[in-house]
Amino acid sequence: MARTAQIVMGSEESYEGLKESAQKGDADWWSCGKDTKKGDLLFFYFKKPKSEIVALATASDKRRPDNKWGHRVGIKDVELIEPPITLKQMRKAFPNWGWLKRTRNLTYLDETKVSKLLKLANRKGKQTAEPTVRITAAGAGFGTPEQNRVVEKAACKAIYEHFEAIGFKLVSRESEKVGYDFDARRNGEELHIEVKGISGSVRKFIITEKEVKCARTDSKFRLAVVTEATASNRKIKIFKQKEFLKFFELKAIAYSAEDKSGFSS
């Protein structure tokens, strides 16, 4: 894997602080292994009040020495797992995993364990085929292609259901690349909706030049942002054209370069 993953330990006293970080999107720090690097995936295991993995997060920097804990690291994008992954579930999924016999200290994870734990993290009564993608950096387009597809699919479904519930009829324009995802019509009213799905709680995403042009020229443009898109407690925020242009800072992260000098190699 490009990054390491580990199970880190939590105490009953630190549980409320972890929940607060998840709810507010605040950065925090946590005890970690000595080989922890920026971008590593962390699973949070608590023995009390119950023995279960309760959250996921990403290491925001490299580990630092700590007199009390040995090593610690900054954490970001904390996401609570609902429902948590119980010790019983893990023992069933990993019958030969020795760490599960005592669960006293943190442990590093191989790719197989990470994959299975991510599937368990996304389960609702039974294991789903799609892995959770709530571990990506900050927003749409910043994860792997597979993760981005899952987030986008979940966000579009949520927005479709949201507008249908308030009387709009939606038609997808995604394949036409017109600068937005849906036409939405209700009693003569028409909106052009661009959907952005985000795995975490920070409204940060990739937006194309055509989508920005649409936002600047089309008064019917609406930006529909779905944060925590793959979670049951996802949040939807609709921005009108002027609100998007006022509140969002646009930064170039890539350019297309074409040689027009006419010189051959």
Q: By mean pLDDT, which of 13-22, 108-117, 194-203, 217-226 is the weakest?
A: 13-22
The rounded percent of the chain whose pLDDT value lies above 90 is 49
Residue 89 has pLDDT above 50, yes or no: yes
In CATH, which superfamily holds the domain spanning 5-121?
ph1033 like domains (3.10.590.10)
pLDDT for 140: 55
Domain 5-121 matches domain 145-247 at the CATH topology level:
no
pLDDT for 260: 83
Cβ proximity of 54 and 67 under 8 Å: no
pLDDT for 132: 35
Q: State the Cα–Cα distance between residues 86 and 218, nearest whole angstrom.
A: 49
Tens of pLDDT, residue by residue over 100-151, are: 998 989 999 988 899 899 989 874 333 333 333 333 334 455 666 777 788 8
Listed residue (42, 80, 200) closest to 136, CA to CA = 200
Question: Could you tell me the pLDDT band of residue 85, with boundaries at 50, 70 and 90?
Answer: very high
pLDDT for 131: 35
Q: Is pLDDT larger for residue 264 or for residue 247?
A: 247
Which pTM does this prediction carry? 0.49
Q: By mean pLDDT, which of 61-70, 155-164, 172-181 is the weakest?
A: 61-70
CATH architecture of 145-247: 3-Layer(aba) Sandwich (3.40)
Question: Could you tell me the pLDDT band of residue 265, with boundaries at 50, 70 and 90?
Answer: low
pLDDT for 91: 95
Tens of pLDDT, residue by residue over 250-259, are: 988 777 788 8
pLDDT for 142: 61
Q: Is pLDDT larger for residue 265 or for residue 113?
A: 113
pLDDT for 188: 94
Task: Count the Cβ atoms, other than its own, within 10 Å of residue 248.
Answer: 17
Task: Count the Cβ atoms, other than its own, within 10 Å of residue 255.
Answer: 5
Residue 12 has pLDDT above 50, yes or no: yes
Task: Count the Cβ atoms, other than its own, within 10 Å of residue 218.
Answer: 16
Task: Count the Cβ atoms, other than its own, within 10 Å of residue 51.
Answer: 15
Tens of pLDDT, residue by residue over 23-70, are: 777 678 999 998 898 889 999 999 888 899 999 999 988 889 888 889
Contacts of 187 (CB under 8 A, 6+ apart): 167
pLDDT for 246: 94
- Residue-range domain boundaries for the chain: 5-121, 145-247
DSSP letter string, 50-68: SSEEEEEEEE-S--EEETT
Cβ proximity of 238 and 191 under 8 Å: no
Q: For residue 42, what are its two tokens?
A: 């962390």
Q: State the Cα–Cα distance between residues 248 and 265, nearest whole angstrom.
A: 43
Q: Which residues pair with 85 in a beta bridge?
A: 53
Cβ proximity of 184 and 168 under 8 Å: yes
